[in-house]
Structure 1
Amino acid sequence: MTREVIMLSPAAPVSMADEWYAIASPDHFWMEWRFRAIVHQLHKAGTLTPGTGGRFLEIGCGHGAFIQQLERDPAFITDGCDLNLYALQQIPPVKGNIYVYDIYKQEAEMLGKYVGVFLLDVIEHIDDDRSFLTAAHDHVQPGGLVVVNVPALQTLFSKYDTAAGHKRRYTRQSLRAALEASGLEPLHVGYWGLSLIPIALLRKLYLAFVPPEKVIERGFKPPAPIVNTLFKIWMKLEMAIFKAPPLGTSVLAVARKRAK
């Protein structure tokens, strides 16, 4: 196990607030909710089963919270890449490789290498999300998977989105269109976090009165550990009741790279 950072590209500034990494631990209720939503859809689709000998890549992995969650199952090996060297240096020892890597550089050793890639709350930071998706799926084997999570509903766009470096929020339809325009075949596109919508609306109103330097902390950090625990209970209830929520604060997609 290693946390050595392999330099395939120069480190570069990214549209993401560094203070977010100090808050977004694998134990944070939202991080856990996202992880469970991803695992649920992958199991439902009968895809991305561990132990098949393939490697996965998380593009825009940041400080590696999702990689740590995925490694709860020891059969998974996931590499991670980002341009933010500060974030990558926060990753504890993991089984996969960690790269400073610009996917537009299309390094030969990385192309067609992976059975699946994860783009988790990444493409909303990118001006041209479709070209980024195209560059991402070049790293996947034919028939492999691309898993994308993005914030949902432009109505919820707030000072938090601006501080976090978001360019937009998505609907199920707009995410599906971006995937198809990038040459991917959507297998599932759906919302999660239905019961978080009123919380997000209240956050939007509250953050209008918060100074910019406090927006990330006040907008994402639970005010107390008990609140984090209560939100996890809330998560379990929603996931038990709503198997396919009609709306949510996030959109999750599982797509396949078409075989040539």
Structure 2
Amino acid sequence: MLDRPVKDTVRYHRAEDGILEPSTPVQHRDDEYPEDGFATLWAMQERHFWYRGRHRFLLRALDRHHPVSAGPLSAVDLGGGVGGWVRFLADRRPGQYRPLALADSSRTALRMAGSVLPEGVERYQIDLMNLGWRDHWDVAFLLDVIEHLPDDLEALCQARDALRPGGLLFVTTPALRQFWSYNDDLAHHLRRYTRADFARLGEQAGLALCDARYFMFFLSPLYYLARRRPGIMRLSEDQKRALIIKSHRIPSPPINAGLTFVFASETPVGHWIRFPFGTSILGVFRKP
């Protein structure tokens, strides 16, 4: 476990816009996730095949480790952006997670999320490097977040401190360096992860790794071919921005429906067997 001094608990208060914020102002780090990307995320999070597939795969993992019969549990989505996963979870498992919260450093994202989140879901403006929660939540999520952070270990330690003993942390990230492409560069990714990386991070953060499995296996060959693009570093910043917007656009309805069907087939298959690889990885960690 990383040896760190225990910080004082951060106290959150409600601002005029309904967002809970700490006393010390939070600065969103645009170099880790540019705020202008939230508009693209907003358009994708409910209809794009990738988000539909990830949410479905994650929900199955959540049900495996916390059956619906277990009763209400508190849960927070850390770095949850514009609220797509929280909305999905609230719709699919109504009343199962109470309180349920969305947390992000971007006030822009939290304000956008306010129009789609169900009543009663709190929004917190947070600094992932200084959450200040101690034994507060039963379940936490870090979904495609830590690959953007210079200090991914500290983010896991902060999440660990926020969990109650026995609490679960669900982490998804891009997987395997072999799938690195221009999209990783444009999306401000710093790394891709393997199961061994998750085991190492869990041990260093004082978390037990309960499960780690790759997903988006069936579509990985298509992903690999689609993301091969030479000369990306010679593009201007405007050209790069235009390319990532184009790459993240929702495909035409027939194509999106077909890709959704293929990705959806990974649940439950990917929970019965461990895929040997995939473009993403899911890790489930438990706080002792």
| 2:19/2:124 contact within 8 Å kept | yes
Within a 5 Å distance, the mapping from 1:116-127 to structure 2 comes to 116-127=139-150
Match of 1:172 among 179, 195, 217: 195
Identity of aligned residues (%): 26
Q: CA deviation at 1:169?
A: 0.5
1:174 alignment partner, SS class: helix
- Could you tell me how far apart the structure 1 residues matched to 2:169 and 2:126 are? 18
Q: TM-score, normalised by structure 2?
A: 0.81
Corresponding residue of 1:111: 134
Q: CA deviation at 1:50?
A: 6.8
Q: What are the within-5 Å matches in structure 2 for residues 150-165 of structure 1?
A: 150-165=173-188
The whole-number CA distance in structure 1 between the counterparts of 2:76 and 2:69 is 14
1:68 alignment counterpart: 87
Structure with greater Cα Rg: 2
Displacement over 6 Å in runs of 4+: none
Question: For 1:216-255, what aligned pairs fall within 5 Å after superposition?
Answer: 216-239=244-267, 241-242=269-270, 243=272, 244-255=274-285
Provide the C-alpha distance between the structure 2 equivalents of 1:152 and 1:7, rounded to a whole number of angstroms.
33
Structure 1 residue 48, shift from structure 2 partner: 5.8
Look up the equivalent residue of 1:105 and give its one-letter code.
N
User: 1:150 offset after TM fit, Å?
Assistant: 0.5
> Secondary structure in 1 aligned to 2:228?
helix
Partner in structure 1 of residue 5 of structure 2: none
- Residue 207 to residue 23, structure 1, CA distance change in 2 (3 Å): farther
With over 3 angstroms needed to count, the CA separation of the structure-2 counterparts of 1:207 and 1:64, relative to structure 1, is: farther
Q: Counterpart in 2 of 1:10?
A: 26
Structure 1 stretches lacking a partner, 5+ long: none
Query: How many residue pairs align between the two structures?
Result: 253
Q: Tell me whether 1:55 sits opposite 2:63 in the alignment.
A: no
Select which of 80, 86, 89 maps to 2:111: 89
Superposed CA RMSD: 2.1
Aligned partners of 1:119 and 1:147 also within 8 Å: yes
Paired residues of 1:21 and 1:87 also in contact (CA < 8 A)? no
Distance 2:43 2:231 in 1: 21
- The match for 2:215 among 186, 192, 203 is 192
CA contact (8 A) 2:215 2:266 kept: no
Q: Is 219-228 or 174-183 further displaced after alignment? A: 219-228
Equivalents in 1 of 2:252, 2:285: separation in Å? 37
Q: Is the 8 A contact 2:176 2:279 kept in 1?
A: yes
Instruction: Name the stretch that deviates more: 129-138 or 235-244.
Output: 235-244
Q: Which amino acid aligns with 2:41?
A: Y
Deviates more, 1:51-60 or 1:13-22: 13-22
Q: Secondary structure at the match of 2:208?
A: strand
